[in-house]
Amino acid sequence: MSKQGFSSRLLAWLEQHGRKDLPWQQNPTAYRVWVSEIMLQQTQVATVIPYFERFMLRFPDLASLAAATQDAVLHHWAGLGYYARGRNLHKAAQVICEQHGGQFPETIEEVIALPGIGRSTAGAVLSLALKQHHPILDGNVKRVLARHCAIDGWPGAPTIQKRMWQLAEARTPKKSCDLYTQAIMDLGATICRRSRPRCGECPVSSDCMALAAGRVDQLPAPKPRKKLPLRQGVLLVLQNEAGEWLLQRRPPAGIWGGLWCFPEGPSEALKGVALREWCRRELGCELINVENGAIQRHTFSHYCYEVTPLHGHANVVESVVMDDDTHLWYNPASIMALGLAAPVRRVIDQMVID
């Protein structure tokens, strides 16, 4: 079957079975498609939909996103994970307003130059929103191509990825590129799924090499596994007499980057008088009492983080905490829009309920 036949079958399938009611498909401006593509990176459609809708209500256009504070943006991103995506989205909106007159750029080179946008995302935005001819190679497309062409090896490896870009380019039609882009993404998301693929409903199953060889479950090859290193830390979960929580803004890089979190304390071995002196010196507060909470384990892409929460009460002894833009006392009943790390939100919500 020809490469042209591959795209024509996908287009015919899309017309009858493709998704047409996703929120970013309604009024598909470059801005709306771009936001959706960033949110959909490593995140399921069902999870993204409510976040996208809330995000659009708060930031309906590029100008409103660029003018917002990072806290406001991360507040609406909290829970989606991979927070660098939200920070880069915000930075890119500011770059677009500063360097492109507030209009989303229309060349692949300009779009790739924006923070947080790679070749595939740039191609998807320009294809879906502006109907330009660009191939894409997201996770769904890699899975479809790996199976249809029986490509061995992990798709993230440079040599395998180069081969897949060649296949993606060869199969992307000059006409109806936007529809083809949507079709191959939909095929990977709904039919050629990671587990339990529905090969009997696939429009290109007749010449799928993996299906013919009985290797659908083996492709694409998984990323080579390695044991994740373990890091340990202590979070100080402190309240003052007013019931406010002491929060600290995380550094831009690293876990929960740019979000507000409970202060990360010294090693667990530092207790008693030494811990009280550290809190007075570093946080400007006097510990009243403190007790260990249950150890929590968080798994990230490159390591596991095992954290011990220390719950306690504290009194402010230095006003610097209130005036410092890296620390604040947070009242959960306030309307302050903060980008809270998801574990922090869960702890506060649970304590408020209790």
- Residue 130 corresponds to which tokens in the numbers above? 């502006």
d(CA 345, CA 144): 38
Question: In terms of C-beta density within 10 A (0-12 exposed, 13-18 middle, 19 or more buried), how is residue 333 classed?
Answer: exposed
What's the CA angle centered on 228, arms 227 and 231, to 5 degrees?
140
Q: Facing residues of 286 across strands?
A: 315
Location of structure tokens 């596994």: 225
Q: Is 306 a known active-site residue?
A: no
**Tokens 């740019």 -> residue:** 258
Contact 240, 246 (CB under 8 A): yes
Query: ω before 220 within 30° of 0 (cis)?
Result: yes
Q: What is the Cα–Cα distance from 76 to 246, expressed in whole angstroms?
A: 21
Identity of the residue numbered 6: F
Our CA dihedral for 334, 338, 339, 343, rounded to 10 degrees, sits at -30
Token pair in block for residue 176 = 């109806």
Of 37, 241, 264, 277, catalytic:
37
Q: What are the distances in angstroms from CA 210 to CA 57, 155, 190, 272?
A: 44, 15, 18, 62
**Phi, psi of 237, deg, nearest 5:** -100, 90
Q: 3-class DSSP state for residue 191?
A: coil
How does DSSP assign 302-343, residue by residue? S-EEEEEEEEEEEEE--THHHH-TTEEEE-TTS-----B-HH
CB 9 within 8 A of CB 204: yes
- Residues that are catalytic: 37
